[in-house]
């Protein structure tokens, strides 16, 4: 199954920068109300800054961004708000020489980021990938989340259930005796 990549408006035209000397740079601030991370997750209220620096093979990009991602708590299934802040440096490689229009040799890197034919740098896609790496594997709504009762499904953060969840599997009864104080 092929999943389409979400699109963003964080595309910057760096054609003029590519015509400059190596070391030339530009800085931009950005805000993005919603950055789609995948089919379910999105980062909201994204604010940040990006600096492009001309290199011999393309454009070096330094990004600092922050925003909020709402995930599902792994213990109680309630919303788990994650405040995410990322800083990263990566490089966009040119496929086409900006002055002559001829194709350029490509780097040997695995999965590099490329400028498109119009010399646009899609910082949104790069940011999306770095944010996904920053997300917790097991998000919690709060550090002391008690989760759900395994018997009745009650949210133990809200109420104490009386379903008898202290019953123990008979196969482990001998282990319970080891826990009792003498």
Tell me if 4 is assigned to some domain.
no
Residue (of 129, 137, 134, 136) closest to 38 by Cα position: 129
Half-sphere CA count of 128, side-chain side, radius 13 A: 21
Do 116 and 179 belong to one domain? no
On whether residue 2 sits in a domain, the answer given is no
What is the rounded distance in angstroms from the CA atom of residue 25 to the CA atom of residue 43? 28
Planar angle of CA 134, 140, 141, nearest 5 degrees: 120
DSSP state of 180: S
Name the domain count of the chain. 2
Is residue 139 situated within a structural domain? no
Q: For every one of its 182 residues, what pLDDT tens digit does the chain have, with 9 covering 90 and above? A: 333 344 457 899 888 888 888 999 999 999 999 999 988 899 999 999 999 999 988 899 999 999 999 999 999 999 999 999 999 999 988 866 666 666 666 666 665 787 877 888 989 989 999 999 999 999 999 999 999 988 888 889 998 888 765 566 778 777 777 776 65
Same domain, 91 and 47: yes
Does residue 5 fall inside a structural domain?
A: no
How much is the pLDDT for 3? 38
User: Is the domain of 30 the same as that of 101?
Assistant: yes
Q: Which domain holds residue 41?
A: 11-134
Distance (Å, rounded) from C-alpha 90 to C-alpha 154?
Answer: 46
Give the model's pLDDT for residue 110: 61
In this structure, the answer to whether residues 178 and 98 fall within a common structural domain is no
Distance CA 86, CA 65 (A): 5
Question: Is residue 3 one of the residues assigned to a domain?
Answer: no
Q: Distances from the Cα of 116 to the Cαs of 41, 69, 95, 98, 162, in angstroms? A: 26, 29, 7, 11, 61
The whole-number pLDDT of residue 111 equals 59
Same domain, 102 and 163: no
- pTM, 2 dp: 0.74
Q: Do 24 and 111 fall within a single domain?
A: yes
Domain match, 160 and 88 both: no
Task: Kindly state whether residue 140 falls inside one of the protein's structural domains.
Answer: no
Claim to verify: residue 154 and residue 180 sit in the same structural domain:
yes
Regarding whether 150 and 78 lie in a shared domain, the answer is: no
Q: What is the pLDDT of residue 118?
A: 82
In a domain, residue 175? The reply is yes
Q: Are residues 49 and 107 in the same domain?
A: yes
Tokens of 129: 């990938």
**Would residue 95 count as lying in a domain?**
yes
Per-residue model confidence (pLDDT) at position 5: 43
| Contact indicator for 40, 61 with CB cutoff of 8 Å | no
pLDDT of residue 6: 43
């Amino acid at each position: 199954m092929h999943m389409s990549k979400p699109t963003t408006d964080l595309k910057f035209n760096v054609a003029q920068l590519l015509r400059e000397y190596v070391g030339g740079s530009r800085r931009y601030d950005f805000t993005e109300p919603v950055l789609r991370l995948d089919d379910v997750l999105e980062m909201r209220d994204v604010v940040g800054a990006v600096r492009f620096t001309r290199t011999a093979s393309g454009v070096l990009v330094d990004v600092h961004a922050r925003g909020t991602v709402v995930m599902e708590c792994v213990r109680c299934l309630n919303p788990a708000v994650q405040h995410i802040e990322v800083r990263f440096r990566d490089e966009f490689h040119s496929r086409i020489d900006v002055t002559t229009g001829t194709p350029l040799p490509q780097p040997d890197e695995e999965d590099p980021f490329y400028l498109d034919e119009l010399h646009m740098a899609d910082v949104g896609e790069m940011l999306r990938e770095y944010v996904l790496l920053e997300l917790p594997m097991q998000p919690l709504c709060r550090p002391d989340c008690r989760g759900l009762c395994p018997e009745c499904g009650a949210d133990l953060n809200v109420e104490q259930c009386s379903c008898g969840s202290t019953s123990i599997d008979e196969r482990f009864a001998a282990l319970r005796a080891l826990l009792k104080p003498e």
